[in-house]
Amino acid sequence: MRRDLLLGGGILSPQGGIYLMTVPVEAEDDEVVICSARRDSATLRLTALTNLEEIQSIIALMAPWDTVAEACAMTPEGELFFLRPDEAELQTIPGSGYSRDDSKGIGRMTTLAQVGVDLVATGYSGQVYRYSHGRRGWSDISIPVSPSESHKPVFYDVISGRGDALVFGGSALFDMAITPDMEAANDAGDIDALMDLFSESEGEDAMSLRLYDGAWRIADTVGEPGAIVALLPMNTGTLLFSDTGMIYRSSDFDAIEEVYRPAQPEGFDDIKIWQGRPLLLSGNTLSVFREGDLDPFDPPLPSGETFCLSVSPVGDRILAVFPDHVQLFEAGSWTRLEPELPEA
């Protein structure tokens, strides 16, 4: 791979297509260029599909959305790129994001997911938008949030619940309100008084689990601090993964139980399902969660000088993306693949 080309993540689609986020030298902040990748022996020939964009979420598309594109990526502003090997089609979620002329201006978008026949996009301040396949456009089902509320919801994952319900995992983010006393202390230059007022008003982010079936309700999350970053449906119930590495299980979302507590409070770098089991990435260590324990993936993910960025399982294959190369697991072994852009 060219030394001036870095990778920022990627996915494997059910059709076998590989989509990688590349980081050119001219990229600023979190900008990437999304490329499709065609395998040529041990090389991945890249084709650029977008200009420099900040990508918040990228997913492979399943039926029935796989007739539209192989994958879809979303920016923090709610712009969508429907990805095919040779092109990317741009669409926009009306009202979403924070600075577009038509946005509600209440926060960045966080997650894009496919739930059955629906595409669901979530964002800060309770933003939720849904697009049902075969229908016209996006519907806004966001949580009504008052500017005066001390905690505002943000979601990082969504799955289907009972019936037509949607289940959202995320966090209730503490949002400190600026009081008249704070403004007066600031105007007077009384830093000590201002700091005291800030301390008195301190709050904590808390895990949030909410259900939507036409109306919103809050489910039990045992009052733990932090965030729910992933929800994985299993035969024994849904597993809830926190940003501290805790794993919980719930069968009905009215109560949850702890099923795994790490020795140190540290979250996973990626969380996916592979062959019906949770596949968990921590640095360069890949594990499978079984009966309350983390079993090392066999064979181990080949380690390199840099940490793995993401894993993307499809069937019996797994795509693991590093900043400088890709590992593909198939037929029981890992193969290193080198991405290459065409010569200018």
Most confident range, picked from 109-113, 123-127, 147-151, 188-192: 109-113
Asked whether the predicted pLDDT for residue 240 surpasses 70, the reply is yes
3-class DSSP assignment, residue 200? helix
Residue 197 pLDDT level (bands cut at 50, 70, 90): very low
Least confident of 173-177, 206-210, 278-282: 173-177
Instruction: Please check whether residue 56 is in contact with residue 108, taking contact to mean a CB–CB distance below 8 angstroms.
Output: yes
3-class DSSP assignment, residue 65? helix
Tokens of residue 192, six digits: 């000590």
Residue 195 pLDDT level (bands cut at 50, 70, 90): low
Dist CA 286 CA 330 (whole Å): 15
Least confident of 4-8, 22-26, 214-218: 4-8
Q: Which residue has the higher pLDDT, 204 or 243?
A: 243
Residue 108 pLDDT level (bands cut at 50, 70, 90): very high
Dist CA 342 CA 47 (whole Å): 8
Instruction: Compute the C-alpha angle 297/302/308, nearest 5°.
Output: 90
How many whole angstroms from its chain centre is CA 140? 20
pTM more than 0.75:
yes
What are the φ and ψ backbone dihedral angles of 192, each rounded to 5 degrees?
-60, -45
Share of the chain above pLDDT 70, in %: 89
CB atoms within 10 A of CB 12: 25
Share of the chain above pLDDT 90, in %: 69
Asked whether the predicted pLDDT for residue 305 surpasses 90, the reply is no
Dist CA 249 CA 9 (whole Å): 29
Query: Which whole number is the average pLDDT over 216-222?
Result: 78
Asked whether the predicted pLDDT for residue 342 surpasses 90, the reply is no
- pLDDT value at residue 4: 62
Query: Which whole number is the average pLDDT over 146-159?
Result: 81
